[in-house]
Amino acid sequence: MISISKRLLAKAGMAAAFSGVLAFGAIASASAAGNLVTDGDFETTPAGSFTEFNGGANFSGWAVGGDSVDLIGTYWTSASGAQSLDLNGAAPGSVSQTLATVVGQQYTLSFSLAGNPVVNAPDPSIKGLTVTAGSDLSKSLTFDTTGHTTSDLGWITKSYTFTASSTSTVLSFASTIPGHTGAAIDNVSVTATPEAGTIVAFGLMLLGGAVFMLRSGKASKSSFLA
């Protein structure tokens, strides 16, 4: 009778561990699939070598502001997929889109950053841009294109968190430098950040399951010897 109840305990432990793994996997896949940004990879609108969009234009979810931007195709090697974006077209521009957000929810903004490496004076070799998410996030960034080429832009990943204060949050990338070669962006994503408390709770579930399994392992060994 004792060994049966221990087996039941072991089964319960395994079930708890298994459900913890399933739940954790569900969270991981939800965050991977939960990118709020439309065409954050700049792949939807064919660019050819590159295509210029003037302020006031729209393409695949992005609204163009300022002077203009260049949607880049084969002109250089993107960070992800086949296309990316130069924030300076003929002159400094911007792109933005409105995201549906939950007030109080924390989000993670992630994107690839580089700069147009084909620098002709008087364009600066150090590119600049501001990144904003409504009134909840504002970053001024630079990228030094020195030593980089169209086949190796030196893409880096930038990542920030912000907490939404509105049900609609305008995500914006804007050039802060003159000229027709600007900062480059690609692979933009905004995902809801799982709260730390949730991660701790699932960690405890997994730990509980592991303890049950260890205990049942010892119990079955001793009962086997007896």
Catalog residues that contact Ca ion under the rule CB under 5 A. 41-42, 78, 80-81, 83-84, 186
**Minimum distance, C-beta of residue 8 to Ca ion, in the bound complex (Å):** 53
**Minimum distance, C-beta of residue 41 to Ca ion, in the bound complex (Å):** 4
**Minimum distance, C-beta of residue 112 to Ca ion, in the bound complex (Å):** 8
**Minimum distance, C-beta of residue 195 to Ca ion, in the bound complex (Å):** 30
CA distance 41 to 81: 7
Alpha-carbon distances, residue 75 vs 45, 56, 94 (angstroms): 15, 24, 20
Q: Which is nearer to Ca ion, 68 or 84 (CB)?
A: 84
| E strand map for 87-212 | 93-100, 106-115, 126-133, 137-144, 156-163, 168-175, 183-192
The sign one gets for the Cα dihedral 37, 43, 45, 47 is positive
Q: Which is nearer to Ca ion, 41 or 123 (CB)?
A: 41
The two structure tokens encoding residue 15: 């079930």
Q: Which is nearer to Ca ion, 153 or 164 (CB)?
A: 153
Q: Which is nearer to Ca ion, 83 or 94 (CB)?
A: 83
CA distance 115 to 144: 7
Residue 36's nearest CA partner among 198, 197, 193, 199 is 193
Q: Which is nearer to Ca ion, 42 or 76 (CB)?
A: 42
In the complex, residue closest to Ca ion by CB: 81
**Minimum distance, C-beta of residue 85 to Ca ion, in the bound complex (Å):** 8
CB 58 within 8 A of CB 69: no
Q: Which is nearer to Ca ion, 120 or 159 (CB)?
A: 159
Radius of gyration, alpha carbons of the chain: 25
**Minimum distance, C-beta of residue 192 to Ca ion, in the bound complex (Å):** 22
